[in-house]
Amino acid sequence: MHKNSQISQQIINSIRSVIGAQDSSLHEPVFNGNEWDYLKECLDSTYVSSVGKFVDKFEQSLVKLTGAKYAIALVNGTAAIHLSLILADVKDGDEVLTPTFTFVATANAISYLKATPHFIDNDEDTLGVDPKKLYEYLNKFTKQKDGKCINIKTNKIIKAIVPTHIFGHPCKIDEIVDIAKNFNIIVIEDAAESIGSYYKNQHTGTFGLMGTLSFNGNKTITAGGGGAILTNNQEIAKRAKHLSTTAKLTHKWDYLHDEIGFNYRLPNINAALGCAQLEQLPKLLKSKRTLFKKYEDKISLLNGVSLFKEPKRCKSNYWLQTLLLDIENINERDEILSLTNESGLMTRPAWILMHRLNQFSSNPRMDLSCAESITDRLINIPSSSNLIGKN
């Protein structure tokens, strides 16, 4: 047999031996708890929009889970990043550092403010921002002026950094926070994919000045759509709530808005679903970890490919299970993608890197060779928490 089809077939056999003969999507939500009850309660109450007890309960549950002092529930994860950047005072003309290997929402939110996404490299231990490379780059290509970090090449202020915890795996966030502090750069963690993931026993999204979550339908838990900002800063929490509710001042009847605000609050009906899902999180995380172990037992027997494992001193939620091909198998990727999908197993390559998208192709960047190498070797495989239960 040709060497190529061999590895494709081996991968298919490995996945099949874990999940059985069923067709499988990449990630689907599981509603096995109080979802129907809470949704009915919400409808019966008639409070389906941005005010209601489920929104408060959802925020309190997020605080309890993450250990952040405050959680502000919003319509989606992109809005959470957008609002966080505003609260970090990111303005027209500023630059914001963000990995080139991330979902496009991160770079989009930066662009909404007419700020410029400035791309930094990822590392292979975590798939997230490489702190060593970040430090060397900032050291060489920035200067400090009036307490601000200036890009020497563009003369613009580097106001913030938005590191992503990719596929739920925590990046080296404490090192990144230290470096950012040294260079006067604000940290907003994009923890959209990492609810239930911990770095050195601390929940992701609680290391930076702000952290953002997403509750889209494809994430580990869902509210249909939804997002949140996490912060320990009372002032920022207050402003986040105010700005996301059209900057309306509390009054019995008057509609007085003291600045230009957003309609970004999470509707109560979404929060109802979110509350039920949060209750299920421990169970879902356990299943996802079991799925990882079963895949690992099989994939570790294969040559030329490995299953990505949570980084050291981290507990990952294993949102998306990830294969990394060895360099010599880089040309097999497309065949693996087509054969797995043809056989009813949904698999997906990495996102196209941000600096390769037309709209970001002329943005400032460092050397991005690690992300470029990872992206061509990476394949996500079926990852739903109900896969092993069904088998």
Ligand X SMILES: *Cc1c(COP(=O)(O)O)cnc(C)c1O
Residue ranges in contact with ligand X by CB under 6 A: 76-78, 102-103, 105-106, 164, 190, 192-193, 214, 216, 227
Strand partners, 245: 263
Q: What's the one-letter identity of residue 299? A: I
DSSP-assigned states of every residue in 239-307:
HHHHHHBTTBPP-SS---BSS---B-BPPHHHHHHHHHHHHHHHHHHHHHHHHHHHHHHHHTTSSSEEE
Nearer to ligand X, 77 or 117 (CB): 77
Cβ–Cβ < 8 Å for 165, 191: yes
Nearer to ligand X, 183 or 264 (CB): 264
Nearer to ligand X, 150 or 275 (CB): 275
Strands 348-349 and 378-381: antiparallel
Q: Which residue is nearest to ligand X (CB)?
A: 77
Nearer to ligand X, 165 or 315 (CB): 165
The single-letter DSSP state of residue 351 is P
* Least distance to ligand X, CB of residue 206, Å: 17
CA-wise closest residue to 72 among 239, 273, 260: 239
* Least distance to ligand X, CB of residue 104, Å: 8
Nearer to ligand X, 266 or 299 (CB): 266
* Least distance to ligand X, CB of residue 223, Å: 9
Q: How far is CA 134 from CA 29, 158, 353, in A?
A: 36, 13, 18
* 152: Cα within 13 Å, side-chain hemisphere: 8
- Residue 342: how many other CB atoms lie within 10 Å: 9
Cβ–Cβ < 8 Å for 149, 96: no
Separation CA 68–CA 119 (nearest Å): 28
Nearer to ligand X, 106 or 231 (CB): 106
Nearer to ligand X, 76 or 204 (CB): 76
* Least distance to ligand X, CB of residue 6, Å: 33
* Least distance to ligand X, CB of residue 213, Å: 8
* Least distance to ligand X, CB of residue 273, Å: 14
* Least distance to ligand X, CB of residue 191, Å: 9
* Least distance to ligand X, CB of residue 336, Å: 23
CA-wise closest residue to 277 among 127, 389, 385, 205: 385
The single-letter DSSP state of residue 45 is H
